[in-house]
Amino acid sequence: MPSSAGGSSEVPLSPPGAMSQRTDLPTQGAMPMPDAAYGEQQEFMDIQGGAPMAGAAPVGMFDPTMQPDVPVTSGANYGAGPGLDAVQTPDMMKADVQLIAQYLPALERVEKREDTPESFRKFVRYIRGLA
């Protein structure tokens, strides 16, 4: 077995791809797709089941930062980093969805075309589900 950089303990390496055995990343369960067409929900869940999805790892108050290049004051209107205007709030997202939703009739016409990519169809269903 290869040894770690410190040389004090041996850690087996995991191969990449389908044979990967990573256990150091937290995971979250699969999330359903809103307004899925017949059969799409199962396909969507199968895709998510192909690899563990990253979850929010609990971080203690005195643990080292997970983002060393981001200033503590990032997102505040003082100190280093971008200000409050760089933070996307739920109200801003709702406004974006409402803005996009006004174009739903045109998006739905494109969605019904034979040559429309499936990813675009899923996007339209996603917006329709949020609107």
pLDDT in tens, 47-90: 777 766 566 666 777 888 888 888 888 877 788 888 877 776 67
**What pLDDT does 14 receive?**
60
b/e for 51-86, b at 16 or more Cβ within 10 A? ebeeeeeeeeeeeeeeeeeeeeeeeeeeeeeeeeee
Where are the chain's structural domains?
88-131
**What pLDDT does 22 receive?**
56
**What pLDDT does 2 receive?**
46
Residue 130 CA to residue 97 CA, distance in Å, equals 7
**What pLDDT does 70 receive?**
85
pTM of the complete model: 0.35
**What pLDDT does 120 receive?**
92
